[in-house]
A = this chain, B = another copy of it.
């Protein structure tokens, strides 16, 4: 854990943006896999860990508003539990390590909330995302479980996003650590393993094993596939063949739970074909230009559009697109090849704070979400601020189903040469992704460099 003063400062910064009342934070419990006693690996709620640092299940906390004084609720183990589970830190000890002033047994939580409500003081909470959280809120606040999400507090969401979006140096250090100790070694190993004949599952397992052996865990389910054009593809059923492109999108958690999120696309067999190299360099140019553009005040949407134009220009140079690049991007024609957003914030959650509502995190009152295909999936649009950490992850994909759909509908024929696309139907997809800190004067890519240019990747695969 960080020093208790860090968590106190975070809570104070949050509380001072709020009026009178209480803010309730439920830590996560163990999530049952197939029966209650067989749980998944424990994953603490991001906001709870950000504000209290505690990585134990079944805790809850209340922050008094606007003072920031805090209360921790948890069950101390009895001697019988110690026999089965070994010595565990007491709730008093946990509270002290989080700089929390008061601690209580779990039974004290409901009366504290009821008393506040009786006095007309609001009880704010963040949106739940597990059924158990909805049921706990129902029991505590007498709001029906299926309506609890609607009663989540917008002021608390906005205050939390305001505080947690700007990362401190201690958080950056965590993300750099996860890059250096786990993420980069994993990619270097992937570059050694991506040989013809290897099974995707074999690679994915060995890479996850490396992450676990380092005492870390994946930050999200790994994508590792020769079908990189299937964007939400978590299958690892293929065998790699010479000439395939292997797309790997994976990240690890730092010791205190911060995520990394990296993508590289590798030529199975170690050498990009000229056709692959041409597309790769378009994606790389888009990624590098977007990174170069990162600075405080720059709307992230402008970087998305910059990357889109570079992609459209590159595809035009290859004869796959045509017409005026600016107009093509404005019309959304490039989204046939780049149908997702350039990136998102990253922090304790890989899509940072996504559970609170993407628009609260990535948009603001001046920047509403587009409804255009492609741009509508952009998770982050608003101007960047110092301390934001964002992913930059453009891609170019040839998605046969989408090409057929657009072609059948005659979409954007002035910008797309559908006939020329025929020989790219089986190309797959390429994405390149790094994580970038917004500094006072510009930006810094986090972590030591992971091979990225064609020369670097081919060298690492030799």
Residues of A within 8 A of B (CB): 28, 31-41, 43-46, 79, 82-86, 129-135, 138-139, 145-146, 199, 201-215, 220-221, 227, 230-233, 235-236, 339, 348-351, 354-355, 399, 401-402, 405
A127, closest chain B residue (CB):
B35
Quickly give the copy total for this chain.
2
Q: Please name all residues of chain B whose beta carbon is closer than 8 Å to the beta carbon of A230 when the two chains form the complex.
A: 84-86
Contact between chains at B35 and A355 (CB < 8 Å): yes
A209, closest chain B residue (CB):
B209
Taking a contact as CB atoms closer than 8 A, the residue among B35, B132, B201 that contacts A349 in the complex is B35
Given A84-B231, A351-B38, also A32-B130 (CB < 8 A): yes
Q: Please name all residues of chain B whose beta carbon is closer than 8 Å to the beta carbon of A86 when the two chains form the complex.
A: 227, 230, 233, 235
Q: Which among A28, A38, A220 has the greatest number of chain B C-beta atoms within 10 A?
A: A38
Q: Please name all residues of chain B whose beta carbon is closer than 8 Å to the beta carbon of A215 when the two chains form the complex.
A: 199, 201, 205, 236
Minimal beta-carbon separation of A249 from chain B (angstroms): 13
Q: With A34-B348, A38-B354, A86-B233 given, can you name 8 additional A-B contacts, CB distance below 8 Å?
A: A28-B34, A34-B45, A35-B129, A85-B233, A199-B215, A201-B212, A205-B211, A208-B209
Given A31-B31, A215-B201, also A131-B129 (CB < 8 A): no
Minimal beta-carbon separation of A391 from chain B (angstroms): 14
A399, closest chain B residue (CB):
B83
Q: List 6 A-B contacts (CB under 8 A).
A: A31-B130, A35-B351, A83-B405, A86-B233, A130-B131, A134-B135
Contact between chains at B145 and A135 (CB < 8 Å): yes
Contact between chains at B32 and A402 (CB < 8 Å): no
Q: Please name all residues of chain B whose beta carbon is closer than 8 Å to the beta carbon of A79 when the two chains form the complex.
A: 401, 405
Contact between chains at A83 and B339 (CB < 8 Å): yes
Minimal beta-carbon separation of A132 from chain B (angstroms): 4
Q: Please name all residues of chain B whose beta carbon is closer than 8 Å to the beta carbon of A206 when the two chains form the complex.
A: 209, 212-213
Q: In whole angstroms, how far apart are the Cα atoms of A348 and B214 in the complex?
A: 30
Contact between chains at B135 and A232 (CB < 8 Å): no
Given A31-B40, A41-B221, A350-B38, also A135-B131 (CB < 8 A): yes
